[in-house]
Amino acid sequence: MKLLNFTIIKLTSCLALGILVADYFELDFNLVLSSTIAVAFILSIYWFFLKSKFDKNIYFGILTYFTLIGIGTLAYTIQDETLNTNHYTNLSDSKRAFESVTFQIKKRLKPDAYNNKYIVTVNSYNSKEASGKLLINIQKDSLAKTLNVDDVFFTSASLQKIQKPLNPHQFDYAKYLELKQVYRQLYLKPSELLLVSDSKSTIYSFADALRKNINSKLIEAGFKDESLSIINALLLGQKQTIDKTIYNNYVNSGTIHILAVSGLHVGIILLILNFIFQPLLYLKYGRFLRPFIIVILLWCFAVIAGLSPSVTRAVAMFSIISVAMHLKRPTNIYNTLVISAFLILLFKPTFLFEVGFQMSYLAVLGIVSVQPIIYKLWKPKSYVTDKFWQIFTVTLAAQAGVVPISLFYFHQFPGLFFISNLVVIPFLGLILGFGILIIILALLNILPDFMVVAYSFIIDSLNGFIGWVAQFEDFLFRDIPFTLLQVIFAYLIVIALVQVYKYRNFKWVTLSLIAVIGFQSVLFFNKYSNQNAAFVIFNKSRYSLIGQKHNSELSIHHNLDSVKLKTDNVIKNYNVGENIKHVKLDHLQSVYQYKNNTILVIDSLGIYNGVSFQPKYILLRNSPKLNLNRVLDSLKPKEVIADASNYKSYIKRWKATCKNKKIPFHQTSEKGAFIIE
């Protein structure tokens, strides 16, 4: 710990704080730029006059921190592509029914049930030079081929906004894409695309072509789809083709981390490269040449793997380690982690909000800080037992680092993670090393059949074991509510306990107890804040879904079948977000009474003539055939709601009628769930 550089930790924290400030507040770019330049200018004057005494001057330190906060804010703001005058959002013409767009394929995403998905960059918009990124959804067609990276296409279509969450506690996909600078989307058929150019112009296209070539060679060699998808994930960083069932098995067994190329994978590749280029050390400049070649190859691998946050972080960290090793400079893993984070956030500030980036760093921090403590609790005499004990303690320490943030994002905990990792991790090095050899031999067209059979057997055995562990659903704890405050106090507890073990003084014992009390206080606060009631008309395509919440109990009125009900995420997300303990299922009713509000439901039968009361709200569901003008004149409601079970043509007509009558109209597929609190 003597080598720990607290200055770089403070500077990186300030950089991250600046990024958070820029994300939370909408700041003017010119104001941010001028303020940062002004603070940096004052800092440089201070440095010039103070010279060697600057590290002892408190004002110099404060100015440095504010400069880094400004740089973080500027780094985040400057990557906002909408600030460019030629961004397509600044060129939009509301009078046009269709826009002409020329775009270039940049990234292939995981397809859904109906569409293949791509991230593209705009080259021209309505015959004007333009910039920006779009999400392209292309209808699946058995005859149409997947599009290649860097291919340029022309189309004429209507740009659509990416849908905001329509139900409470739903994942905000629009916000997720905004962090990637994607603000609009297109829905197209293959016939609506006109190929302009298929030339390769960037390193990403060559990487994509290499991945496709590898896949075609592996298919020719005899690898099946399931084995091929795992090879793509483990070695090429591409998870788009993994079967949903297999992917869920890895999630439920607690081994999903091995499918994301990260520190473990890059560390093994670094060891292999160090071994391969060992002879370079005998050359005159070999000590400088070997790390240079290794770092270049590591970053080439990062590009091939798609430059995801996890692989970028891992390659940045191991690049620093590789250079430090060859220069024989003493280093500290904390310094290496923080320096890599600083460099990544400086150039890719939105990575701070990537789940993979956060979990990757937290897992490594857990391993380097907690694992030595756990490992010292027992000293096995047997070599084999000691190795398994090391793997177990590493797995446990990694979980200590990621469990709080994992519960916050995914609300589940795999109870058998230690069993699956004890088996998988020892063989992962063999799987990766063997896999690299398989790819090289396949590209050289000299891959023997027995190696294909052997490696396919290893992958199938891995999938089979993961599936076996995942079937024990009683050990998978799902739907665990966990708030951001709980995450903060959970990490404070972990940090304080580690410090208590190291220093065993009153200060850290006190801080650990304060952290525990803070965590308990959050639990009490969450329970108290849950003591409320709400009436919710959810947005559920082709179905009607109504919830009545009272404290921690929820009554669901619905027309879903048993399969839909079991897999429905709308109810699940609401239960977790609102900390619901008990759920009661019931059929839809014609009238609901909530506090002083009466809600009349008119379904496909369109019956309302016998109503002798005046409802405050009318819910239209299942496309009733009625004269809404007559209904409004007769019942005089304060507001009309149409859920997602209705035909769009009906909703359009009802919306116009309500507008003429000056009665508020709430369309759940447009405005989201209707909530009365």
For the chain, domain boundaries: 6-78, 88-201, 484-529, 533-676
Nearest to 576 by CA among 408, 381, 438: 408
Provide the mean pLDDT of the chain.
Answer: 85
Mean pLDDT value across residues 347-369: 86
4 pLDDT band, cuts 50/70/90, is: low
Q: Which residues of 539-573 are buried (b: 16+ CB within 10 A; e: fewer)?
A: bbeebbbbbbbeeeebebbbbbeeeeeeebebbbb
CA 644 to chain centre: 28
Q: Can you read off the two tokens belonging to residue 491? A: 């990490």
Rounded-to-integer distance, Cα 315 and Cα 299, Å: 7
Query: Could you identify the residue written with the tokens 């050359």?
Result: 283
Q: What is the pLDDT of residue 621?
A: 92
Mean pLDDT value across residues 175-181: 90
Q: How many CB atoms lie within 10 A of CB 634?
A: 13
Contact 306, 110 (CB under 8 A): no
pLDDT per residue as tens digits for the range 382-412: 888 888 888 888 888 888 888 899 889 888 8
pTM higher than 0.75: yes
Overall CATH class of domain 88-201: mainly beta
619 pLDDT band, cuts 50/70/90, is: very high
Mean pLDDT value across residues 577-584: 89
Rounded-to-integer distance, Cα 361 and Cα 101, Å: 39
Q: What is the pLDDT of residue 168?
A: 92
C-alpha to C-alpha distances, 402 to 34, 256, 367, 481, nearest whole angstrom: 39, 13, 10, 16
Mean pLDDT value across residues 91-104: 78
In the DSSP assignment, the letter for residue 604 is T
pLDDT per residue as tens digits for the range 289-309: 888 888 888 888 888 777 776
Q: How many distinct helices (H) and strands (E) make up the chain?
A: 22, 20
Please give the radius of gyration of the chain, using alpha carbons only, rounded to the nearest integer.
29
Residue type present at position 664: P
Rounded-to-integer distance, Cα 126 and Cα 156, Å: 9
Residue type present at position 288: F
1 pLDDT band, cuts 50/70/90, is: very low
Nearest to 26 by CA among 65, 64, 82: 82
Contact 535, 556 (CB under 8 A): no
Please calculate the CA angle 310-312-314 and round it to the nearest 5 degrees. Answer: 70
